[in-house]
Structure 1
Amino acid sequence: MRLSNVLISYLRLPIVVRVALLALFIIFLFGAIIHVVEPDNFPSYFDGIWWAIVTVSTVGYGDFSPSTYIGRIFGMLLILVGVGFMTFYFVSLSTATVTRQNSFLEGKASYNGKKHIILVGWNERIRETLHQLNGIHSRIPIVLIDETLDNNPVDYSNVTFIKGNPTYDDTLLRASITDADILIISADQSKNEVNADMATILTLIAAKGLKPNLYCIVEVLTNNQILNATRAGADEIIQTNKLSSFVMTNSIVSHGMSATLLVMLDNLAGNKFEYIKSTPNHIGKTYQACINELLEEEMLLIGIKRGDESFINPSPSFTILDADELLIIKH
């Protein structure tokens, strides 16, 4: 019964491992046999193993060799059997390596890392996001999920491509979503806006079902779906159309504003927006006083968040209260 269990366990191993184990068994077996058959030429078990390894690898140093007929017969058997297994092993190893590499490039492999960022969907916005993230920190592990691509579209070493439908648990689990830190869902603009938002929310629901505390940032195109995205558990909602309309409106009012805004945002590369909790040292002080104080720490205060309200560049006399959050730009 135990022997059959061992055989079943052996047969379940990958082909490369099985061939390697069989080759090692042959080497140890013939090493022991030659030591018993010709103890004078092979005074130790280790010498026999050494001879077997040199023989099957076709190196043939000649420091040990059988001199009797029976010893040479075992040597010929080792050459016929062992060399065949070793050749098959290296062929299998090469095949497995190429297959795994192709699976990795084609998005068929699974990601096994932790504390990574998952990006869903492929478009120019995601391409630029990857470029910006790698400009800030090239070692951030990133997993890209898309079902339309055939191969990894970027050559960043820290980006793993997973091909599949992001609304399916299997795809998300292959991206190791339960160990991820952040999920970003980009709207599929090849669909109409309503269908794109529905796909985004469905992906969000699937992700939250697998990891409820996962921080999720979603792109929504229509105002009607903002509430649904919030209900589905979105931590942040990016309203692409609203942002675009804001830029267009300001460009109408002030010509050239779109280029200025783009340059301003591009110059923030390496810096970041961040909310920080107000400390006892900030409470009771004016907005202007906090600006001067934070500048000494190389942080630029640009606004205050109080509950659900945000105040961008409020009056200099605006007073900081307990539980306020300070919106800053820092290196």
Structure 2
Amino acid sequence: MSFRSYKRLIYYLIAFLAIFLFLVFNLLEFELRSEEGEIETLSDAFWYSIVTLTTVGYGDMVPTSTGGRAIGYILIFLSLGVYGLLIGQISTIMANIKEHKKLGMYGTNFEDHIVVIGWTHFGKTVIDQLIKAGRKVAIVTRNRDNIDLLKELYQNKNLFVLYSDYENFELLEKVNIQKSNTVFINLEDDTEKLVYILNLKKEYSGLNFIVTLENSNLKQTFISAGVTHAISRNEIASRLLASYMFEPDVALYSEEILAYPTNDEEYDMKQFKVLEKNPYNGQEYNKVFFELKKNENVILMGLVRVEEGKRTAYKNPADNFKIRTGDYLIMLMNQKTQRSIKRVFNLEEGV
């Protein structure tokens, strides 16, 4: 309900209250003049008026004067209008609450989630993988028709949808953008993406941005603008296509591990952070490699170490390379072993 509608409702209530009080006091005055009057106090007048107005009609007291009965008639007819007004307003309020909730106007308490600005067919393939991986996703769309489609596609508690104009940065508070893990800018044009990121950074600092580019030559421009990851869709597709031409088995394997596994026959590469109490913390790489394979049926592919804000990937470190707290182990696993690794590492996958 809009502010104007609330204001109008308040005016109606004030007007009704004024009319009601006018009738109650006049009813009492008429009845006090009647010798047979049963309504003798202001409390009696209020009781009779409320009982009549609500159509309860106990009949324990009735007006006997001509003026009192006239007011009784007015109260009876008013009761019809009051019920109609109340039912109509309550229905309107409930419908507005439902609509506002559907449009995301009440916000979300998601944290460490993925915010997706824009909805496209390509974005759908990305969101499909995120939802399968159990990640929380907040989608911002400016197309009203997308709301019903998204609700139908993803009947999932990990999805939140906000209907908003992209340039309304204040409304992005509804998706809890400042506590998000990553913001995926999923707009159509590369230039539009760059301008949007620069404007968004003025409102919210410290966000991690990721974009896909149509023009791979703009990658360095986006990195310089503060984007964490700028990926060329054509570049990825061309590499995979070339791999299919001369090493098709490797290409098939690469395609499989890029997607989230849906059963224990499919494998995926995942990264898990090493906490202080992790059993592999402080151990040498080669020892961890063999223990993971023996105990969990997981293949350790390498690790990433974060030093002074810079991430360094060690794809095949020396055998005596020691694992530290805060390192990310990159491992190949299926769904069954993933559940086991979660228990061992005592946390979810990812950054």
* 2:313 counterpart of 1:310: yes
Q: Does structure 1 conserve the Cα–Cα contact (< 8 Å) formed by 2:119 and 2:186? A: no
Q: Does structure 1 conserve the Cα–Cα contact (< 8 Å) formed by 2:270 and 2:330? A: yes
Q: How does 1:151-162 map to 2 (within 5 A)?
A: 151-152=146-147, 153-155=149-151, 156=155, 158-162=159-163
* 2:196 counterpart of 1:203: yes
Q: Does structure 1 conserve the Cα–Cα contact (< 8 Å) formed by 2:212 and 2:230? A: yes
Structure number with bigger Rg: 2
Give the aligned partner of residue 248 of structure 1.
241
Over 3 Å counting, the alpha-carbon distance change for 1:21 and 1:255 in structure 2 is: farther
Over 3 Å counting, the alpha-carbon distance change for 1:119 and 1:240 in structure 2 is: same
* 2:296 counterpart of 1:290: no
TM-score norm. by structure 1 comes to 0.69
Over 3 Å counting, the alpha-carbon distance change for 1:97 and 1:125 in structure 2 is: same
- Over aligned residue pairs, what C-alpha RMSD do you find? 4.3
From 208, 220, 223, the equivalent of 1:230 is 223
Q: How many residues align?
A: 306
Give the aligned partner of residue 110 of structure 1.
105
Amino acid of the structure 2 residue aligned with 1:210: E
Amino acid of the structure 2 residue aligned with 1:161: L
* 2:123 counterpart of 1:126: yes
Deviation, 1:159, is 2.5
* Structure 2 unaligned residues grouped into runs of 5+: 332-340, 343-351
Query: Kindly, what percent of the aligned residue pairs are identical?
Result: 15
Over 3 Å counting, the alpha-carbon distance change for 1:60 and 1:225 in structure 2 is: same
Give the aligned partner of residue 267 of structure 1.
261
Q: Does structure 2 conserve the Cα–Cα contact (< 8 Å) formed by 1:23 and 1:86? A: no
Distance 1:65 1:46 in 2: 12
Over 3 Å counting, the alpha-carbon distance change for 1:14 and 1:144 in structure 2 is: farther
TM-score norm. by structure 2 comes to 0.66
Q: Does structure 2 conserve the Cα–Cα contact (< 8 Å) formed by 1:201 and 1:229? A: yes
* 2:320 counterpart of 1:326: no
Q: Secondary structure at the match of 2:302?
A: strand
Distance 1:54 1:137 in 2: 56
Q: Does structure 2 conserve the Cα–Cα contact (< 8 Å) formed by 1:299 and 1:328? A: no
Give the aligned partner of residue 68 of structure 2.
71
Q: Does structure 2 conserve the Cα–Cα contact (< 8 Å) formed by 1:187 and 1:219? A: yes
Distance 2:312 2:241 in 1: 24
Q: Does structure 1 conserve the Cα–Cα contact (< 8 Å) formed by 2:120 and 2:186? A: no
Amino acid of the structure 2 residue aligned with 1:234: V
Distance 1:238 1:260 in 2: 21
Deviation, 1:251, is 1.9
Q: Secondary structure at the match of 1:209?
A: helix
Give the aligned partner of residue 5 of structure 1.
none
Deviation, 1:29, is 6.7
